[in-house]
Structure 1
Amino acid sequence: MAFNRSKDNIAELRRLLASAPSNAKTLSAALGISQPTFSRLWPTAGNDIVALGAARATLYGLTRRIRDIGPTHPILRINAQGESEDFALLTVLAGHWYAYQFTDSSDIFTCEGLPYFLQDLRPQGFLGRLAPRENADLTLPSDIVEWTDDDALYYLARRGDDNMGDLIVGNESYRRFFAQKSNADKAFSKAFIQASERDVRYPELAERALKGETVGSSAGGEQPKFTTAILRGAADPIPDHVIVKFSPDIRTASGRRWGDLLVAEHLALETLRRNTIPAAESNILVAANRVFLESVRFDRIGTTGRTSMVSLAGLVGETGAADKTWSYAAAILANRKKLSVADLAMIQLLDVYGTLIGNSDRHPGNLSLSWTSDGTFALRPCYDMLPMMYRPNSQGEVVEREFNLSGLDRLDLRFLQRASDLANQFWDSVQTDARISEDFKRVARLHVAVMHPA
């Protein structure tokens, strides 16, 4: 009878853990046994049941494999020198749960779905849509929107050697990174572009990207783009890693408007930098009837170095602010002492500035933070700041749109005066920049008239 009870308890334990990980107290109560009896029972219940953590904080989980990769995955961080550092161990559990433990802590964290620091690493946007075809041997769904967390983790563990930020998941992806790093003089230098060659190389890379070839590493956003690295001159052998957006042919109305918007993005970021507000460094090139906006990546350092980066979109599971303003999400983090008061104020300022220049695309993916394993965050430089309300419509038509100030209603207007000063500087630069079309300068004048009614 005791043997049968033990078999029944094992079956029930596995059933319980198939739903979610749990602790000994909860599991013992559910099984109707003492904790000492549970301590003898669980090691006999199968090699796929594991104890996570230590002492009273121990959790028990039922591990599972994802296709041909095991349930545990080391997570490495690449530091500013391009060297790897042990960072965490991720364990895949039943019931769509994941557990992770940072190398510098004995604490175990569990989450339903991928951890926040991996959410942003999913292929996304214009370049991300190419991942299924470029990695057809992985037999992942052809539409990245349909990818489950398991699909995303499988991709990251097999091909995640060049993600945004500084994390690499799994041994295979690290081996790919290490092979490139070990051969850096050959592999990386071949991919570098001399600054003097950009007028020729950028149009070539744009054509390749439009034909569906992956050019560079993954970067989010739907605007057509590619990534590469630039050598500024013989005296500076350290490359700048860049994301390059490009317009359609500017001889078309749609292309001309997108060209204006890319120049406007450069001017919006330049305005912030001029006023000592951290923003991505950028340059504009016009070549082969396209406008190219080159932005220096702040998650890359030198040839192989990297730094951390997670967007507010990756933190939705932490903040619950999927459809809220940047300011709202940042305030949640600040209230939890995870973001400084100074960074909160800067985000609130950027939110008002974005509203005043007509940036209707201030979604959570367009503001990023650095982060540490203790759960604290710091604001990264501003990017993707432009008057997106004036973009062509989904059919590629340039339509008239009227700006209004209603977007300010949800924001902290203590920052209105400074944001207005910044917005005025921005629109002044738009109206005097020779790279901006007369049509968009007309739009700028109408916009400013709404900001400053007579």
Structure 2
Amino acid sequence: MGRIEQQDIKLRSYLESGALTSKTLQERLSISQTALSRAIQRNKKDLLIIGAARSTRYALRKNLFGLGYEIPIYEVDQAGDVRPYSTLHPLAARQYGWQLSGEKNQLLDHLPYMIQSAQPEGFMGRAFAHSFARNLGLPEKLERWSDEHVITALAQRGEDFVGNLIIGKESVERYLIQARSGNVPAISLDQRHTYFEELAEKAIAGDNPGSSAGGKQPKFTALLETPDGYQRTIVKFASRTTDEGRRWSDLLVCEYLANKVLSAAGLSVAQTEIVQTDDWTFLQSVRFDRVGLWGRLPLYSLLTISSEFIGYCETWVDAAEQLYDEQLIAQEGVDSLRWLSGFGALIGNTDMHLGNISLIPGESRFQLAPVYDMTPMYYRPRAGGVLPQEALQAGPLSIRINNDRIAPIATQFWKAAQGDTRMTDQFRSICQQNIGTMKALDDGPVMRL
């Protein structure tokens, strides 16, 4: 083996551990800048050059699961038209080159947050993996997927994921074929009862490969044809044939009522509707990352934004305050998330994690997306089928948030739930107890901060 060939093998070996600067490569290979330039030239088809001048780094390209060295990313606008957005370059050591259209490459040690927000997750993500993993050569259990598995799935079956990006030529071609075909499987409003039951049964059986909306609760997506035009929706569901199912039905109605109360209080919420059949309850929610039949809007979870720009945060308020410090959201966004955290506490929403609130990018800052998943999850069925019955307790947090006059709005929610005949008698009794808790809180002393 000749000296040049040995040099090239060593170059690749060093880059297998991640991107390196020219200086580091010269030191490790014991060669001059001129010799390194010649080595880079010989291997240029397998290398990605990132940066310029002294900050230049060299990375070893990776043909990820046969997708090639470059994966194009496309953006769908509000009219449904497609344009290039960026290029993702898979690299050795699970690094990535990220090149926005018209800009230079960036080196990332993780997937860009725009792609992270689109990855399959929750109930529908597991259904997606169940349907497609084997054909794509991926693990069938979603929790075993790495970032590289996510990219592989999105690049081949990613035409209808969260947000406005489509990853890969195969996925964008599938989107365009569907959009141009004129074959739109829309459901009319008077057909919902029949079709929703069928879609729920298919979702339970794992046959729901549509858009991977997050969340653990059972759900499916549906395209509706309404007098106002097409609406793309996410539909949660619960079968009322068991005690646990009836409790989940109560919680779906609660989410609908919470949205009504929050909307009346001036907050932006998901547009929801309850549809019921003899045995099922459906919560239909219009997607706010979709516009009409084919249009799309960007949407990122608070979890991915906080992970990208500020690191781990425990609560909505912690994340909001730190994002405000970085000038990534306005004070209005902080105030809204603080208010919503208080409201959620008073209605028993114990599931206010950072994946349950989303942001929409603006010209200079992120804005709060419409509220969703606001429901008293404290009362969800527990292990062994136990159904919580006790009233909420007003703790120190409740005393503090009372300064924002949240308790009267929470009282409106509990009164609406108590008076809704779609609720079980058992849950309406819980609501009555919580009306008493809210009254005691509202009548009690206030901590002036």
Would you say same fold, with TM above 0.5?
A: yes
Question: Does the alignment pair 1:428 with 2:407?
Answer: no
Q: How does 1:173-322 map to 2 (within 5 A)?
A: 173-183=171-181, 185-186=182-183, 188=184, 191-214=185-208, 216-233=210-227, 236=228, 238-249=229-240, 251-319=241-309, 322=312
Alignment partners' CA distance in 1, 2:391 and 2:274: 27
User: Cα 1:378–1:30, aligned 2, differ >3 Å: closer, same or farther?
Assistant: farther
Q: 1:442 deviation in Å? A: 1.5
Matched-pair contact (CA < 8 Å) for 1:132–1:139 = no
Q: Which residue of 2 is the match for residue 417 of structure 1?
A: 404
Instruction: Please identify, of 295-304 and 16-25, the stretch whose mean Cα deviation from structure 2 is larger.
Output: 16-25
Q: 1:28 deviation in Å? A: 3.8
Q: 1:274 deviation in Å? A: 1.4
Matched-pair contact (CA < 8 Å) for 2:17–2:93 = yes
Q: 1:55 deviation in Å? A: 4.8
AA at the equivalent of 2:237: F
- Select 2:377's aligned residue among 388, 397, 400: 388
Matched-pair contact (CA < 8 Å) for 2:189–2:226 = yes
TM-score, scaled relative to structure 1: 0.90
Question: Does the alignment pair 1:69 with 2:58?
Answer: no
Unaligned runs of 5+ in 1: none
User: Cα 1:416–1:294, aligned 2, differ >3 Å: closer, same or farther?
Assistant: farther
Q: 1:12 deviation in Å? A: 4.0
User: Cα 1:38–1:335, aligned 2, differ >3 Å: closer, same or farther?
Assistant: farther
Deviations 1:275-324 (A, max 9, x none): 22111000011113111100110001011110001112323532565460
Question: Does the alignment pair 1:445 with 2:432?
Answer: yes
Alignment partners' CA distance in 1, 2:139 and 2:278: 35
Matched-pair contact (CA < 8 Å) for 2:415–2:435 = no
Deviations 1:136-192 (A, max 9, x none): 321211101001111111111111011111111111111111111111x22x2xx21
Q: 1:450 deviation in Å? A: 3.2
Q: Which residue of 1 is the match for residue 350 of structure 2?
A: 360
Unaligned runs of 5+ in 2: 445-449
Q: Which residue of 2 is the match for residue 116 of structure 1?
A: 113
Instruction: Please identify, of 124-133 and 137-146, the stretch whose mean Cα deviation from structure 2 is larger.
Output: 124-133
Q: 1:126 deviation in Å? A: 1.3
Q: 1:15 deviation in Å? A: 3.0
Q: How does 1:130-209 map to 2 (within 5 A)?
A: 130-135=127-132, 136-183=134-181, 185-186=182-183, 188=184, 191-209=185-203
Matched-pair contact (CA < 8 Å) for 1:319–1:332 = no
Matched-pair contact (CA < 8 Å) for 1:77–1:168 = yes
Aligned with 2:58: secondary structure? strand
Alignment partners' CA distance in 1, 2:137 and 2:428: 49
Aligned with 2:84: secondary structure? strand
Alignment partners' CA distance in 2, 1:230 and 1:149: 33
Q: 1:40 deviation in Å? A: 3.3
Q: 1:439 deviation in Å? A: 1.6
Q: 1:97 deviation in Å? A: 0.7
Q: 1:31 deviation in Å? A: 4.5
Q: 1:81 deviation in Å? A: 0.4
Matched-pair contact (CA < 8 Å) for 2:302–2:355 = yes
Aligned with 2:235: secondary structure? strand
Q: Which residue of 1 is the match for residue 447 of structure 2?
A: none
Instruction: Please identify, of 307-316 and 90-99, the stretch whose mean Cα deviation from structure 2 is larger.
Output: 307-316
**What number of residue pairs does the alignment pair up?**
440
Matched-pair contact (CA < 8 Å) for 2:408–2:438 = no
User: Cα 1:44–1:220, aligned 2, differ >3 Å: closer, same or farther?
Assistant: same
AA at the equivalent of 1:284: I
Alignment partners' CA distance in 1, 2:401 and 2:431: 25
Q: 1:35 deviation in Å? A: 4.1
Alignment partners' CA distance in 2, 1:204 and 1:335: 48
Matched-pair contact (CA < 8 Å) for 2:224–2:231 = yes
Aligned with 2:162: secondary structure? coil
- Select 1:379's aligned residue among 364, 368, 371: 368
Deviations 1:79-107 (A, max 9, x none): 0000112111110011011120111433x
Aligned with 1:164: secondary structure? coil
AA at the equivalent of 2:115: L
Q: Which residue of 2 is the match for residue 13 of structure 1?
A: 11
Deviations 1:1-48 (A, max 9, x none): xx73x5565444323321222333444455455545433332224531
Alignment partners' CA distance in 2, 1:143 and 1:406: 40
AA at the equivalent of 2:103: S
Aligned with 2:407: secondary structure? helix
Q: 1:256 deviation in Å? A: 1.7
Deviations 1:399-420 (A, max 9, x none): 33452344838x9x46742332
Matched-pair contact (CA < 8 Å) for 2:347–2:376 = yes
AA at the equivalent of 1:338: L
AA at the equivalent of 2:334: L
Aligned with 1:60: secondary structure? strand
Q: 1:109 deviation in Å? A: 2.5
State the identity as a percent: 34
Alignment partners' CA distance in 2, 1:99 and 1:317: 19
CA RMSD of aligned residues (A): 2.5
AA at the equivalent of 2:111: L
Q: 1:358 deviation in Å? A: 0.7
AA at the equivalent of 1:159: R
